[in-house]
Structure 1
Amino acid sequence: MISSWRKRKAARRAAKKHDSGKNTSMELKIPDHYRCPISLDLMKDPVTLSSGMTYDRESIEAWFKAGNTTCPITNRVLRNLEPIPNHAIRSMIQDWCVEKRSYGIERIPTPRIPITSVEVSEILSKIEAADEQECLELVVKMRSLAKESERNKRCIVENGAGRVLSSKFEAFSLDSIDKHVSILEEIMSTLTVISTTLDEETKHILGSKSSLRCIVWCLRCGSLSGRRNAVLVLKSILSSDKQRVRALFEMEGAIEALVKLVKEPICPTTTKASLLAIYHMVSSSTTNDKDDVTKRFVDTGLVEVLIEMLVACEKSICEKALGVLDGICNSNEGREKAYENALTMPVLVKKLLRVSDLSTEFSVSIMWKLGKNETSDERGVIFEAVELGAFQKMLLLLQVGTTEKTKENATHLLKLMNLYRNRVECIDSSDFKDLKRQF
């Protein structure tokens, strides 16, 4: 009896294995009406156009992004390019996936429905008319929607969110910064989320005197996130207007707040934005106020911080730090402070041909500004540059090619270095162990 039971069990197991092999060998066919007509893949987020045809959202949005305004199948010009979610087809596809799970098909999750232009316009209209508390809730909601997807972010920007948010920012800053600090920080946070590059109208509003004063206040007294968002906004609005740069320079505490973000970094993004804002201030100064601008930055101890930072930093920060140092060295005070630092020439020579073309150009420019006025035959920056191996690097730089200005500066430096070339023994420019730091 036991033997017979074992035989029946073995037979059932064999039959099940046979059926399983049969099933896995069968080809799974996806129903045609579940496939996207463009990609021919199973639709994950089916949407229907005004032409009545259904496509996968990702495929049809790529079609529109390429500049097309017609239905791919019917070729009819579409009255509205806003696709409508097809919940019925999506539900059927999900049910089909559940039925075929034995084939390894996973159920497609229900996608988040993207925000529409109409919804964005409604939110923006409410923001324009809202009091502080309601405005705060709406701004937070808009930022949350922007974080959901790039499509949402694009839709929010295209419908004028920058103009509305910056106008509200200006209105609250005119009333009272201390009273409205929460909503002001939320608006700046949302502006940095929805767009890395602000449009000109938004920049113009944020560049007003009251808005700039509020941004500077946030730089000085705001929370960590508030200071971060303030400098990101500031970086964007300074890039195209010298008047705003001048207005910022004249505001009390602006320079000290920016330098503090470099000395006490919050994150790499904040450091880069701070350096870029300082670069705009240094490079945009006119001949009349150039010395005044650079002197104020020199007095904050920025030169020493930049040189220390250049010993070891990432490419993007290195380029910006060298750009700021190059601008500061346009003044006598800046050159004097850089000349006094034992690390200046070693780090400049080290950056030649090692980081990027831009870093090399700035390094050559700074070396030329420091060395061109040397008249003494004693040991100076040119002598030190030759000792660190700069002569060979300058020759190589002329061979590999560079900008005309850098080529000109390098040629002048080579003429000065040639006077010392046979009098010094070159050392490795990366060897800092015997150098004494003055800070």
Structure 2
Amino acid sequence: MEEQQQVEVEVEVPSYFVCPISLQIMRDPVTLPTGITYDRDGIERWLLTAGTCPLTKQPVPPDCDPTPNHTLRRLIQSWCALHADHGVDLVPTPKPPADRARVADLVSRLRAATSSAALLDALRELRDVAAESERNRKLLAAVPGAVDVLAAVVVASCRDAKAACDEALEIVCSLELSERCLARLVERNEELVDALVATLQRTNTTSRAHAALLLEAVTAVMPSNRLVSLPEEVFGEAVQLLRDRVSSPATRAALHVLVGTTSWGRNRVKAVDAGAVAVLVDMLLDGPVERRGCELALAALDRMCGCAEGRAALVSHGAGVAVVGRKVLRVSEVASEKAVRVLRSVARHAATAAVVQEMGQTGAVEKLCVVAQSEQCGERTRERARETLRLHARAWRNSPCLQPHLQALYPSC
């Protein structure tokens, strides 16, 4: 930083060498149709979120390819070389960016590959192109059939040619695919889920994380008739990801899979049989969990407590009721809502005398009393809390576990 300040004092940089976005010397100047020149990296990032020229505010077409300003680049390179003795960094000649033709050619090579070596070479070159910039990733996603070809590689190589599978997964996960594109992917590749499960069963943590992210994406757009027939292995591997804590993105993806697929009763049972309830409780119990992760874990528990097996698993866990009660009013409004729903399910459908006593002793009843009066929660959550308290008012209203001021606030039957 100090060197840059010294250079600015000693050498005056011509204003037309400076990018209007970054205010730094341009390394790869490109010109928009509006006539304004920017550094390629800066303007490409800008155009990802804004469809206008930063200076003129004129609209820029979504498919606009800024024109390289070679003359200006050579002037900048010459000026930097002339002032190198003053600490000015030399500007190398930039690598030509990928164009649509090159990306399409790489996809064609994937289709035509007749050997593992040729397939790997094309995949690695395509991976490098995609890693260069968001622009390149958009170009790749826009090539007709490109995502289908990559998915086909994943399916065909998930068990034997694992290196090719890993490369294809990495590329697909780097793309921002629309729901429509993902839905087509699911429709055209019926074996994709099985391939992702096979990848999740491996020991390569990076590949498992990529498989988890893609599994989350495809299950989010999967039609209900496909969701209800998901194999048990999907739930087993999602739960294993939570146990192994491969990475934060993989953990969030596994939670999203559990939440998104357990709206149907049979899937809830599959998840419970895979040990999801115990793992989720341990996850909430073991230590600090980011807010979104806590919300998703409680949402998954809420789903699973919609079946008898899920409720039984929760109350049989030594800390199940206690940890859910503890999250009320401590994380977020969403987390409190989900936790109250779980406690209501338990109180309505799994409330043995021992469970009713446990809810009082662990502080869950106190939390419900506070929620019933709290403005921090929505009206529906407050009403659920009041409804739960009324279910067992005889046991809880005058319980020595409930502080006197909360007994006074206890809702009437």
> TM-score, with normalisation over the residues of structure 1?
0.75
Matched, 1:193 2:177: no
Percent of matched pairs sharing the same residue? 27
After TM superposition, give the deviation of residue 56 of structure 1 in Å: 3.0
After TM superposition, give the deviation of residue 137 of structure 1 in Å: 1.7
Q: Distance in 2 between matches of 1:186 and 1:345?
A: 43
Matched, 1:57 2:37: no
Pair 1:72–1:129, CA change in 2 (3 A): farther
Q: Secondary structure at the match of 1:209?
A: coil
Q: Distance in 2 between matches of 1:86 and 1:124?
A: 29
Give 1:139's aligned residue: 123
2:210 to 229, 242, 245: 229
Amino acid aligned to 1:230: A
Question: Within 5 Å, which residues of 2 pair with 1:233-252?
Answer: 233-241=214-222, 242-248=224-230, 251=231
After TM superposition, give the deviation of residue 59 of structure 1 in Å: 5.5
Question: Within 5 Å, which residues of 2 pair with 1:106-125?
Answer: 106-108=89-91, 110-125=93-108
Give 2:3's aligned residue: none
After TM superposition, give the deviation of residue 35 of structure 1 in Å: 4.2
Q: Distance in 2 between matches of 1:151 and 1:122?
A: 17
Pair 1:350–1:32, CA change in 2 (3 A): closer
Q: Distance in 2 between matches of 1:48 and 1:30?
A: 20
1:50–1:80 Cα contact (<8 Å) kept: no
Q: Secondary structure at the match of 2:374?
A: helix
1:139–1:186 Cα contact (<8 Å) kept: yes
Q: Secondary structure at the match of 2:221?
A: coil
Matched, 1:298 2:278: no
Pair 1:110–1:354, CA change in 2 (3 A): farther
Q: Distance in 2 between matches of 1:76 and 1:189?
A: 34
Q: Secondary structure at the match of 2:377?
A: coil
Give 2:381's aligned residue: 406
Q: Secondary structure at the match of 1:183?
A: helix
After TM superposition, give the deviation of residue 193 of structure 1 in Å: 1.8
Give 1:310's aligned residue: 284
After TM superposition, give the deviation of residue 338 of structure 1 in Å: 1.1
Pair 1:76–1:148, CA change in 2 (3 A): closer
Pair 1:277–1:24, CA change in 2 (3 A): closer
Gaps of 5+ in 2: 1-5, 404-413
Q: Distance in 1 between matches of 2:215 and 2:165?
A: 14
The CA RMSD over aligned residues, in Å, is 3.6
Pair 1:152–1:365, CA change in 2 (3 A): same
Q: Secondary structure at the match of 1:215?
A: helix
Give 2:326's aligned residue: 350
Q: Distance in 1 between matches of 2:386 and 2:79?
A: 73
After TM superposition, give the deviation of residue 86 of structure 1 in Å: 2.8
Aligned length: 390
Q: Distance in 1 between matches of 2:115 and 2:56?
A: 46
Moved more, 51-60 or 261-270: 51-60
2:327–2:336 Cα contact (<8 Å) kept: yes
1:36–1:43 Cα contact (<8 Å) kept: yes
1:50–1:78 Cα contact (<8 Å) kept: no
2:183–2:221 Cα contact (<8 Å) kept: no
Amino acid aligned to 2:216: K
Give 1:372's aligned residue: 348
Pair 1:318–1:105, CA change in 2 (3 A): same
Pair 1:217–1:136, CA change in 2 (3 A): same
Give 2:408's aligned residue: none
- Cα displacement string for residues 308-350 of structure 1 (whole angstroms, at most 9, x for unaligned residues): 1111233232222212211111111211121122201221121
Q: Distance in 1 between matches of 2:43 and 2:208?
A: 40
1:48–1:86 Cα contact (<8 Å) kept: yes
Pair 1:71–1:322, CA change in 2 (3 A): closer
Amino acid aligned to 1:157: A
1:36–1:56 Cα contact (<8 Å) kept: yes
2:154–2:169 Cα contact (<8 Å) kept: no
1:257 to 230, 237, 240: 237
